[in-house]
């Protein structure tokens, strides 16, 4: 029985992208929400991003957070303009998932925090964001 487990789905292609290689039949996202999955991880678009799929439109409704990963080791010519090499580090503690984003700007450079998550007018961006589970 997996009823009390944190359910995570992982696949490569994004749901939304400009290319024809995106997932076009998104009905399975509804099935994941109904089955109790809480978030999903994907790659392919070569930039870190996040969004929310809400199955129910109530405060405690079923939902899936999307966590898109950047590119960890693609050749330089495959990088998206304005996005360095990236990876995410996920930490689950109590009822919270924290996603830390890291970046590398030089081919053989060091990894460092990637502060790209804006917090509002006049507030500095953070290198992480949190999702309540």
Asked if 43 and 12 count as a contact pair (C-beta separation under 8 A), the reply is yes
Which has the closest alpha carbon to 71: 84, 61, 59? 84
Helix (H, G, I), strand (E, B) or coil at 9: strand
Residue 78 DSSP symbol: G
Per-residue pLDDT of 74-102, as tens digits, reads 898 888 888 999 999 999 999 999 999 99
List, for residues 44-58, the tens digit of each pLDDT value: 888 899 999 999 999
Q: Which residue is it, tokens 């994004």? A: 14
Q: What angle do CA 120, 49, 110 make, to 5 degrees?
A: 95
For 65, the token pair is: 């957070």
Mean pLDDT of the chain: 91
Length of the chain as a residue count: 133
Q: How does residue 17 score in pLDDT terms, banded at 50, 70 and 90?
A: low
């Amino acid at each position: 029985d997996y009823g009390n487990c944190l359910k995570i789905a992982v696949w490569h292609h994004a749901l939304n992208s400009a290319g024809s290689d995106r997932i076009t039949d998104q009905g399975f996202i509804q099935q994941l929400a109904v089955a109790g999955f809480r978030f999903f991880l994907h790659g392919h678009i070569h930039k870190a991003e996040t969004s929310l799929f809400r199955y129910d439109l109530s405060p405690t409704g079923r939902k899936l957070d999307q966590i898109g990963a950047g590119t960890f080791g693609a050749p330089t010519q495959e990088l998206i303009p304005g996005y360095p090499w990236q990876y995410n580090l996920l930490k689950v503690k109590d009822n919270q998932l924290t996603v830390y984003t890291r970046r590398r700007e030089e081919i053989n450079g060091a990894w460092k925090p990637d502060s790209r998550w804006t917090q509002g007018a006049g507030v500095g961006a953070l290198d992480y964001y949190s999702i309540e589970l």
